[in-house]
Amino acid sequence: MRILVTGAAGFIGSHYVRTLLSGGYPGFEDAEVTVLDKLTYAGNRANLPAEHQRLSFVEGDICDLPLLLELFPGHDAVVHFAAESHVDRSIEAAADFVRTNVGGTQNVLEAVLRTGVERVVHVSTDEVYGSIAEGSWTETWPLEPNTPYAASKAGSDLVARSYFKTHGLNLSITRCSNNYGPYQHPEKLIPLFITNLLEGRQVPLYGDGKNIREWLHVDDHCRGIQLVLDKGRAGEVYNIGGGNERTNLEITHTLLDLLGADESAIRRVADRKGHDLRYSIDESKIQQELGYAPLTSFEQGLADTVNWYRDNPGWWKPVKHGAQSAAR
Ligand code: NAD
């Protein structure tokens, strides 16, 4: 079994590959893994085991179709994580998001088609659904993205759907809620707040802090992706969530408690443009069809994540303060 994983120098893809290589997914213990990653500011070579025998690392861009056509033959499956992933950056500069998330995904699918790779999982996000005031999204909910990031992911989902409908590609899509865990870039809310507090700095809280997100530990997300890769049906979308809905203010207070800080560490900042109020996922399909269940409780997962950042300043300080290229 040979699996090609795009974007696996980033947060979630690297967790998936580390787990895969350590034998964490039954039936895939001998998998050979090729990682294709452009090493943007978000990619970090140090997120992957340097010299693992079953890992090959290729630095390259998913927008480079000739490279994909050279690389893909001989692989049994592609798990596609590569994306521009930070909403705030998409508000300032959307072009890279459309280029990589829409154009790059189309290239990946085209290369899968032309080279005869048998199976693809396209990793997407619940943000494609927009914002929901009450209830939870099922997979048939309309796509109503509100930010350039979410719109580019929705575009990639529709391109993926078209490659299933038109070409019959053996493809499934996952849509997951917000992830947290080790190795997440400190531009994202939870690691930004943890690392600021570890440095004795304030944390910037958007608006009134009442925006609600559903949180899932990265390990549970990756297990869901693996289940979909192994047993998911072609042409289907699978939501992956954890049921842990929290306001940003609640998350902030929990982190203040875990790090021994008080209210004075909160700095209120103007709300994010297009800030979705609430995300909530109905994940009954993946539970009933594939037997998925998250294993990490939010309280334990968050405490472990705080400890990981406390114990690993050598990882996050260069990433946060701009010397990341030295860590590649
Ligand atoms: P990340 O930003 O940490 O990592 C993205 C990786 O993709 C980086 O290693 C980067 O170098 C690589 N990359 C970017 N552009 C590339 C290109 N053109 N060619 C090749 N590689 C490129 O992102 P993440 O948080 O690990 O997210 C991974 C995937 O999961 C994304 O598709 C994202 O939309 C999705 N997702 C993320 C979350 C979350 O909470 N982080 C939730 C649901 C879904």
- The pLDDT tens digits for 19-58 are 999 999 999 999 999 999 999 999 999 999 988 999 999 9
The residue written with tokens 């790779």 in the block is 117
User: Does ligand 1 lie within 6 Å of residue 229's CB atom?
Assistant: no
Q: Among this protein's residues, is 127 annotated catalytic?
A: yes
Rounded-to-integer distance, Cα 191 and Cα 320, Å: 10
Phi, psi of 219 (to 5 degrees): -65, -40
Q: How many A from CA of 120 to the centre of ligand 1?
A: 16
User: Does ligand 1 lie within 6 Å of residue 242's CB atom?
Assistant: no
Instruction: Give bridge partners of residue 57 from the DSSP assignment.
Output: 35
Fold adopted by 2-179+215-240: Rossmann fold (3.40.50)
Q: What is the pLDDT of residue 28?
A: 97
Rounded-to-integer distance, Cα 17 and Cα 24, Å: 10
Counting from 1 in the atom list of ligand 1, the atom nearest the Cα of 47 is 9
Q: How many A from CA of 215 to the centre of ligand 1?
A: 17
Rounded-to-integer distance, Cα 279 and Cα 176, Å: 11
What's the whole-number mean pLDDT along residues 100-113? 98
The residue written with tokens 């795009």 in the block is 6
Single pTM value for the model = 0.97
Report the percent of the chain where pLDDT is more than 70.
98
| 282 pLDDT higher than 90 | yes
Mean pLDDT lowest for which of 9-18, 159-168, 319-328? 319-328
What's the whole-number mean pLDDT along residues 287-310? 97
Rounded-to-integer distance, Cα 211 and Cα 197, Å: 21
Q: Among this protein's residues, is 126 annotated catalytic?
A: yes
Q: How confident is the model at residue 272 (pLDDT cuts 50, 70, 90)?
A: confident
Contacts (Cβ under 8 Å, ≥6 apart) of 126: 137, 175, 176, 177, 214, 239, 241, 279, 281
Q: What is the pLDDT of residue 50?
A: 86
Q: Among this protein's residues, is 144 annotated catalytic?
A: no
Catalytic residue among 37, 61, 84, 127: 127
Q: What is the pLDDT of residue 323?
A: 54
**3-state secondary structure (DSSP) of residue 179:** strand
Element (H, E) at 218: helix 218-231
User: Does ligand 1 lie within 6 Å of residue 192's CB atom?
Assistant: no
Q: Which of 6, 11, 87, 246 to mutate to test the pocket of ligand 1 (most atoms within 8 A of CB)?
A: 11
| 224 pLDDT higher than 70 | yes
* Closest C-alpha among 171, 172, 193, 137 to residue 306: 193
| 158 pLDDT higher than 50 | yes
- Residue nearest to ligand 1 atom 37, measured at CA: 125
State the maximum Cα–Cα separation within the chain, in Å, rounded to a whole number: 57
Counting from 1 in the atom list of ligand 1, the atom nearest the Cα of 8 is 9
Q: For residue 64, what are its two tokens?
A: 């480079």
| 305 pLDDT higher than 90 | yes
Catalytic residue among 126, 157, 214, 276: 126
User: Does ligand 1 lie within 6 Å of residue 39's CB atom?
Assistant: yes
Helices H, strands E: what count in the chain? Answer: 12, 12
Q: For residue 174, what are its two tokens?
A: 């996952």
Rounded-to-integer distance, Cα 281 and Cα 138, Å: 7
| 325 pLDDT higher than 80 | no
> Cα angle at 279 between 274 and 283, to 5 degrees?
150
Q: For residue 214, what are its two tokens?
A: 């559903």
User: Does ligand 1 lie within 6 Å of residue 128's CB atom?
Assistant: no
- Residue nearest to ligand 1 atom 29, measured at CA: 81
